[in-house]
A and B are shown apart, each in its own frame.
Chain A
Amino acid sequence: MGEVFLPGSLREVFDLLSGEPEALLYAGGTDLFVRSSLEEGGGKPLVCLERVEGLKGISDHGDEIRIGGCTTHSELIRSRLVREHFPLLMHAARRIGAPAVRNMGTIGGNICTASPAGDTLPPLYIFDAFVELCSAGRARRVPISEFITGPGQTALERGEVLSAICLKKDHGCTFFHFEKVGQRKAMAISVASFAFAAGINGDGMIRKARCAFGSVAPTVFTSSNIDRCFIDKPMDEDTLRQAALLVRSEVSPISDVRASEGYRRSVAGNLVMRLEDLVRDTG
């Protein structure tokens, strides 16, 4: 088996990575050690990010919230800043795995795994999140939708660490909804998930809407066509029916062990129709 490093600062991480270019990064290990069991191991050195100070914590930067890359899902759920400004992200994090997985798994790991089923991803697409990537020589910011390039694929370069996720507060939305359909309630990878945020005027007309779907396309699925079809309409059955039709025609799911292509397509539409119950319950 190999060496495991526990650096305490980003500087140490970059020094380690320049000395051990083959090293694998991990944070919670809830994806990495499930994909390739520790027992088999590859013998490659491991760099554990859990104690890197610069990667932790959620902070307020005026018009922006910065979430450290190694923030766990449990920390997201407990954060006052997240609850206040991005409740959608909190709802999504709550639906991940079970308590122990949320205590270990991180938002940075969820993003870098780039699974179409990653539950924090639809909210991050809705809020046009930026990921901050740092390496020894430089830092850059990339929109989440450009960072994730395909299922399991990202624009992360060798030697880079996802140091933070930055979210602008002025998203103008006041209505939020996240729902995930899986084979069971806990610990289940989603068959389809749906995140929704809207700004609604005093007269009940929708001013702005953003939809994002998980598990129904190779990466998180968003569509300006679908978002536009809500504008200047009330949140009623007619509006939702039209949106659901568009959704069913635009998504491009696959069939796998969890669900068929057709089932995913119809569930994606049904998830939109569910908004009606919510509006009725809250309004």
Chain B
Amino acid sequence: MKAHLTRRYMFSASHRLHNDAMSEAENKATYGKCNNPYGHGHNYALEITVSGPVDESSGMVCNLTDLDAFVEREILERFHLQNLNTVPELDQTVPTTENLSASIYDILQRGFTPAHLEKVRIQETMMNSFEYAGTNEIRK
């Protein structure tokens, strides 16, 4: 039987929303406070959902130890306590949480094999969250 497993991780990072292709006025108008030159930070809550048949011998979709180890090595190592504008995955884009979600989704999609990746959800603050599932529909 197929189940969906969601695991939450926390990380903290700073960013500045700024696009060199825009004028100073346009950057200000588009990004507001998020355009302040020295950046600011968030405690991000990342939720990763994977799915697959529940293995009869272990009772699991995938071993949490494997997921935790992958996320620690490939995601938290890369983004936790960093300035997102300087991280290679994001330094050519505006490090919005939209782009961060897509970037984390791609890392998982490429490298995590024990279960099927369903979606990534990032809560940037208590007031907003973002979900990304590549080209797939998001299941509720």
Task: Tell whether A and B belong to one assembly.
Answer: no
List residues of chain A with CB under 8 Å of any chain B CB: none
List residues of chain B with CB under 8 Å of any chain A CB: none
